[in-house]
């Protein structure tokens, strides 16, 4: 039995939605008026004035349903909310307002204060550290000329703060790094070291430095202000044969550098 798919779908849908007066037209040209009582894949059950007729589905051509009256709502309407009490309604409808503020009295003749702009972060100020500035550092590790080679890196801590423009711009105990510039292997300065500073660690970044060679600071020969002073040319070796951890050395900047600080 060959059936058109749209015809089967149409009758299956019609069986689920009966109407009071329907019209069925067959392929032979017959027009039947009645009420569709059911349908399946083989036949239609159509009730007419002459009684219930069973019509094979392959004979059906079209099926027209009459208008279905609109169903009346069965659910009860939602209850209307009771009107709010007058005082509650006025409270809910009136927006809250802040209590007025009374400006503080000012003395007679005092000009009104100008409106201050929004607080802004102060602009950084660039401070220049000039060439020739002394940097005293305390070596962190022992440097032995018998094992050191040119380019070896060493670390130290800044012994005294760096001050410029009347401001302390680098605090004491800041990390500072240097390199072994040369190691004497022959002649009268055999096994002697020449150290130079190369970098300053400040606020998480590395600042390049350029300094001269080290000069040993004598702890037992205080200057007039009570601070240790650099050793003279004939005392201790400014470029000593061995630099122990904790040794206090002094360097002089060869090149100036700048820092941006916020007051």
For all residues of the chain together, what is the average pLDDT?
Answer: 75
Count CA atoms closer than 13 A to 115's CA, side-chain side. 2
Alpha carbon 64 to chain centroid, angstroms: 66
Q: What is the pLDDT of residues 70-113, one digit of tens each?
A: 555 555 556 666 655 555 444 444 555 555 566 566 655 555 55
Burial 93-131 (b: 16+ CB within 10 A, else e): eeeeeeeeeeeeeeeeeeeeeeeeeeeeeeeeeebebee
Write out the H or E segment, with its range, that includes residue 236. none
| Structural domains of the chain, with CATH | 5-65 (2.30.30.100), 125-255 (2.40.128.260)
Nearest to 46 by CA among 28, 17, 69, 23: 23
pTM: 0.48
Q: What is the pLDDT of residues 169-178, one digit of tens each?
A: 899 999 999 9
Say if residues 53 and 37 touch (Cβ distance below 8 Å). Answer: no
- The pair of three-digit structure tokens given for residue 193, joined into one six-digit string: 């070291």
């Amino acid at each position: 039995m060959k059936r058109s798919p749209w015809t089967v779908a149409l009758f299956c849908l019609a069986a689920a939605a009966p109407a009071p007066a329907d019209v069925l037209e067959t392929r032979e040209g017959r027009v039947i008026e009645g009420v569709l009582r059911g349908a399946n894949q083989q036949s239609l059950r159509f009730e007419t004035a002459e009684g219930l007729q069973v019509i094979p589905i392959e004979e059906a051509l079209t099926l027209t349903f009459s208008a279905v009256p609109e169903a009346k709502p069965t659910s009860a309407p939602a209850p209307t909310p009771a009107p709010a009490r007058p005082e509650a309604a006025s409270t809910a409808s009136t927006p809250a307002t802040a209590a007025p503020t009374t400006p503080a009295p000012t003395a007679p003749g005092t000009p009104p204060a100008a409106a201050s702009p929004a607080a802004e972060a102060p602009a950084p100020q660039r401070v220049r550290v000039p060439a020739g500035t002394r940097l005293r550092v305390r070596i962190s590790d022992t440097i032995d000329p018998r094992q050191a080679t040119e380019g070896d890196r060493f670390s130290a801590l800044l012994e005294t703060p760096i001050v410029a423009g009347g401001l302390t711009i680098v605090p004491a105990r800041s990390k500072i790094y240097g390199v072994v510039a040369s190691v004497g292997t022959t002649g009268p300065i055999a096994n002697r070291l020449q150290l130079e500073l190369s970098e300053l660690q400040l606020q998480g970044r590395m600042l390049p430095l350029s300094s001269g060679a080290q000069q040993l600071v004598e702890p037992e020969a205080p200057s007039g202000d009570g601070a240790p002073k650099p050793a003279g040319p004939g005392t201790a070796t400014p470029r000593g044969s061995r630099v122990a951890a904790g040794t206090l050395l002094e360097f002089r900047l060869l090149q100036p550098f700048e820092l941006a600080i916020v007051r």
